[in-house]
Structure 1
Amino acid sequence: MSQFDYIIVGAGSAGCVLANRLSANPQHKVLLLETGGSDKSIFIKMPTALSIPMNTEKYAWQFHTEEEPYLNNRKMHCPRGKVLGGSSSINGMVYVRGHAKDFDEWESHGAKGWNYQTCLPYFKKAEAWLLGEDDYRGGKGPLGVNNGNNMVNPLYRAFIEAGKEAGYSVTNDYNGEQQEGFGPMHMTVKDGVRCSTSRAYLDPIKTRNNLTVVTGAKVTRVLLDGRHAKGVEYALGDALITAKADKEVVLSAGPIGSPHILQLSGIGDSKILEKAAIEVKHHLPGVGMNLQDHLEFYFQYRCKQPITLNGKLGLISKGLIGAKWILNKSGLGATNHFESCAFIRSKAGVEWPDIQYHFLPAAIRYDGKSAFEGHGFQVHVGHNKPKSRGSVTVQSNDPAKAPKIQFNYLQHQDDIEGFRACVRLTREIISQAAFYDYRDGEIQPGEHIQSDEEIDEFVRQAVESAYHPSCSCKMGEDDMAVVDSETRVHGIAGLRVVDSSIFPTIPNGNLNAPTIMVAEKAADMILGISPLPSSTASSFVHPDWHHQQR
């Protein structure tokens, strides 16, 4: 038995933030538990090696979904970070906050006090934007954010120019006033090295005497005294250890881990718990429900000029890139290669962007392999405001057995139509004059894919997860809400959930930035600190969004 004030379960994107903020007061004794281990691998630190940790058992839970009925019964890969820094140590490092309206939407779903004006100060608190602080960007936070190699490859700027030629706006900062449009993309890289939350928030404070970090710890359940969380039980090697929390237990195990731990602890839908032979401690039907994710596919083209990363896939080229990065943390090793992007609306009548683009000057899979000979480029595109909903459900009272994951991708007709728009709008963009000197034939989907039926079948076969699971312990006040607007689990004292699982709806963008923001804001709530003053900064919405798509 060990005793602490706060116990944080999961040293990931949220957990490292909480460990930093809660242990800032030397009077608070904090325990941070993480199943994974060290994040010091070169493959985690080097931005260009991003595909390696994501696909490595040592650093990531290699979850897979059940057969997805609307994706031709494919089982989809769902990796989650299992290392200090969590998914911020295995992700693509793309920094996207989401549109201002995404957070207003949260508040409309019952998350009181989580609108854009109240969230923006916490985005700023977290960030050290390379260009400095303004009304939208933070300059003094722990999290380094920049644009990689500043779009040296001409294909990045060709993509932005093509969007402009197609009639879309150009935005210099999609994380500022205007998300909608084409522009440079931002990444969590600092001095050429991945800036995970472990590096940004945990490394500087590991020597605090009041902070205990335990790796290799698998939490099996939250310990309850009636309707009060009193601590956790966790396995460490062959030992089963009990840790007591005098103040609170905070689950930051992510959108798969947090609902699973709640269910293992007897908190969840009683029917699901009884089926798994788990004693029901508190019937809370929303646990594990409302699961959401982003899907995407690669739109690939051959390139006329030998300027793409496909020419850098040989062992000698990789060796030179690695050597330059090791020596001075610069060059192609210091970027995730997603250096330009876009956010557009799929059709008139959509108020804020629901389609996202990541542009890459290569035609290549996530495993780093090329599917063809020669040079090419691709743009990752996805419909980012899905209406399909899934679930995470415990299958057994054995904590070692993974939960059942079912997203029900493309269950909703609006999601299908959103991907049809992705195909047709992307083709129009890439057909612009800006790509004339580069574009040399469509590799994927292939020019023969034209009708709605052909597009739908291509999407079902080719679409992949963008690795943004979320919303499985949603915040709100309705019958299916799991936590309240203070991140406290409904009906259980001394227990909170703070990670992307508490998002009511998924934002239009990558999820690392909003997860960090949620942890920054929740830390003040946990400590009883007055929230940062609300921002008065405005946000852009197309003045005629009812009638114009661009």
Structure 2
Amino acid sequence: MQTYDFVIVGSGSAGSVVAERLSASGRHSVLVLEAGGSDRRFYVQMPLGYGKTFFDPAVNWNYRTEPDPGLAGNADHWPRGKLLGGSSSINAMVWIRGHPADYDSWAAAGNSGWSYADLLPAFKAIEDNQAGADDWRGVRGPVHVTDCSADVHPLTRRYLKAAEQAGLPFNPDFNGATQEGVGIYQISTKDGRRMSAARAFLRPAMKRTNVRVEMNALATRILFEGKRAVGVEYEQGGRTQTVRAGREVIVSAGSVNSPQLLQLSGVGPGNHLGGLGIDVLHANENVGRNLQDHLGINYTFRARTATLNQLLRPWWGKALVGMQYLLLRKGPLSLSMNNAGGFFRTDAGEARPNMQLYFQAFSTVIPKSGERPILTPDPWPGFSIGLSNCRPTSRGEIMIRSRDSRQYPQIVANAYATDHDVAEMLAAVKFVRRIAAQPALAEFIEEEILPGPSVTSDDDLIQDFRKRSGTVYHPVSTCRMGPDPAKSVVDARLRVHGLGGLRVIDASIFPENISGNTNAPSIMTGWKGAEVVLEDSE
């Protein structure tokens, strides 16, 4: 059995960072086990290519939730990255940290070292921001953050003006002095290519002699001696293999796979594991529970002017943008589908924004089999204004179904399970219509396509967003961090309560969800997690 100082399960947004930072000094040997394959694929590297990876089983776990009463009985599609870089290799690349108060609430709950002031140096060190350095932003870090303001579709400016007319201030940087307002999203790309965690962190680390990455290696069980983790069992090429961790096992498999692996290893809700015939090594009712996610919906409009639909759909348009991308790494294919967006409060009494906006200068009402039709939008000019909730109060869970590590776990999202979540989404969709009705945008709208002008009453609006809402791919908190073992899975040092040699470092440790996209906070968690591992290893 081979031995490494650290065995990391998962090469995603956090795991890639952990591998790079733990190996940087050359003093520690690191093994990374990745269930998927390489990120060196054209549609992974091309930013707008994530429409092609949205259902692709070669790079995507393609999870589905249980039919959800809160979503009118629909079973939601949950894409999660299954390749180097994890979900950072298939996401929409919007670079948002979250509101400072999100992290201050983490610290106030007893998680020392996790306030915004504590984490700001990490966020700045991670970034190479095209806009330059200031009190909030960093440069010369591993992750290049691109300013897209010169490249967005002209209709985007109309959206921004309409949102200002609806009462929201223009915000040049959602990660700067304040989060509230509307503006153009910065994205994690460089030179027209996706800046995934694999590109920024893991690929450089793989050049070191003290780092080994095993792809297509599915971790099946954490190995223990007594209550201490000492290694990992994994399957690769039809064979079961084991590897020993001389210092620690670090689980960075994400909010679905991290609790799954712990449960398969006998760490989790005792009655549930025992009922599946799994020996309970350490009972903890929180493993897989406290699931939180952001839910989103689009309002789609037929436009009186050309949108990206007229460029991305016809063969000649595809040829034009394709050549523009291949030759110059410019154009629509080099951007995210979300050109702009913003944050707002559905009630003036809210202390900070509780809703996020997205603007897409194209529409995808007509589905396309096998992919998200980003690259083949509707045949008529259209655009969408989307939104998602920032801090929903509904909670779900992720539980294994059997002892078989290849069987997908049961995901109970429990969407819109509280009156609070329903009420704020109702207020939010009404505000989307208010933006669309402003002069700057209204003159360019021929009609509302979805949900349509006949949907006006509160009951009908609620019924509509239950039918059409879905995840915006930000599941967190299934191995939540906290000081009390009765209410959490890991402590503030990300050590699993009650066990030795084992940490969880990824978005599953978030005590509560953050206000915005979760990729930047996941990368920060990897940075912070590696920092505490190194401190504790001295």
Q: What SS is found at the alignment partner of 1:60?
A: coil
The answer for the alignment partner of 1:542 in structure 2 is: none
CA-to-aligned-CA distance 1:494-530 (integer Å, 9 cap, x gap): 1000000000111111100000011111111000079
The answer for the alignment partner of 2:507 in structure 1 is: 500
The answer for the alignment partner of 1:415 in structure 2 is: 421
CA contact (8 A) 2:48 2:374 kept: no
Listed as ranges, the gaps of 5+ residues in structure 2 are 366-371
The answer for the alignment partner of 1:425 in structure 2 is: 431
The answer for the alignment partner of 2:472 in structure 1 is: 466
CA contact (8 A) 1:363 1:370 kept: no
CA contact (8 A) 1:148 1:189 kept: no
Kindly report the root-mean-square deviation, in angstroms, between the aligned alpha carbons of the 2 structures. 1.6
The answer for the alignment partner of 1:190 in structure 2 is: 190
Q: CA–CA distance in 2 between the matches of 1:320 and 1:10?
A: 38
CA contact (8 A) 1:31 1:213 kept: yes
The answer for the alignment partner of 2:453 in structure 1 is: 447
Q: What SS is found at the alignment partner of 2:258?
A: helix
The Cα of 1:105 is off from its aligned counterpart by: 1.7
Question: Superposition pairs for residues 115-514 of structure 1, below 5 Å?
Answer: 115-148=115-148, 150-364=150-364, 366-368=372-374, 373-478=379-484, 479-514=486-521
CA contact (8 A) 2:337 2:374 kept: no
Q: CA–CA distance in 1 between the matches of 2:31 and 2:156?
A: 44
CA contact (8 A) 1:174 1:180 kept: yes
CA contact (8 A) 1:63 1:77 kept: yes
The answer for the alignment partner of 1:50 in structure 2 is: 50
Q: CA–CA distance in 1 between the matches of 2:82 and 2:293?
A: 19
Q: CA–CA distance in 2 between the matches of 1:428 and 1:43?
A: 36
Q: CA–CA distance in 2 between the matches of 1:313 and 1:340?
A: 21
Q: CA–CA distance in 2 between the matches of 1:492 and 1:54?
A: 37
Query: Structure 1 residues 397-406 or 368-377, which shifts more?
Result: 368-377
CA-to-aligned-CA distance 1:277-302 (integer Å, 9 cap, x gap): 11000011110000011111111111
The residue type equivalent to 1:183 in the other structure is G
Q: What SS is found at the alignment partner of 1:213?
A: strand
The residue type equivalent to 1:192 in the other structure is G
The residue type equivalent to 1:482 in the other structure is V
CA contact (8 A) 2:131 2:147 kept: no
Q: What SS is found at the alignment partner of 1:208?
A: coil
The answer for the alignment partner of 1:545 in structure 2 is: none
The answer for the alignment partner of 1:525 in structure 2 is: 532
Q: What SS is found at the alignment partner of 1:94?
A: coil
The Cα of 1:112 is off from its aligned counterpart by: 2.1
The answer for the alignment partner of 2:369 in structure 1 is: none
Q: CA–CA distance in 1 between the matches of 2:240 and 2:35?
A: 14
Q: CA–CA distance in 2 between the matches of 1:79 and 1:247?
A: 33
CA contact (8 A) 2:159 2:441 kept: yes
The Cα of 1:351 is off from its aligned counterpart by: 0.7
The residue type equivalent to 2:57 in the other structure is E
CA-to-aligned-CA distance 1:154-212 (integer Å, 9 cap, x gap): 21111111111112211111111110001111111111000000011112221200000
The residue type equivalent to 2:414 in the other structure is N
Q: CA–CA distance in 2 between the matches of 1:372 and 1:526?
A: 49
1:16 aligns with 2:16: yes
Q: CA–CA distance in 2 between the matches of 1:326 and 1:170?
A: 33
Q: CA–CA distance in 2 between the matches of 1:54 and 1:527?
A: 36
The answer for the alignment partner of 1:109 in structure 2 is: 109
CA-to-aligned-CA distance 1:24-68 (integer Å, 9 cap, x gap): 121201001101111111100111111111210000101101111
CA contact (8 A) 2:354 2:390 kept: yes
Query: What TM-score does the superposition give when structure 2 sets the normalisation length?
Result: 0.96
Aligned residue pair count: 531
Listed as ranges, the gaps of 5+ residues in structure 1 are 531-550
Q: CA–CA distance in 2 between the matches of 1:370 and 1:42?
A: 17
The Cα of 1:326 is off from its aligned counterpart by: 1.6
Question: Superposition pairs for residues 66-105 of structure 1, below 5 Å?
Answer: 66-105=66-105
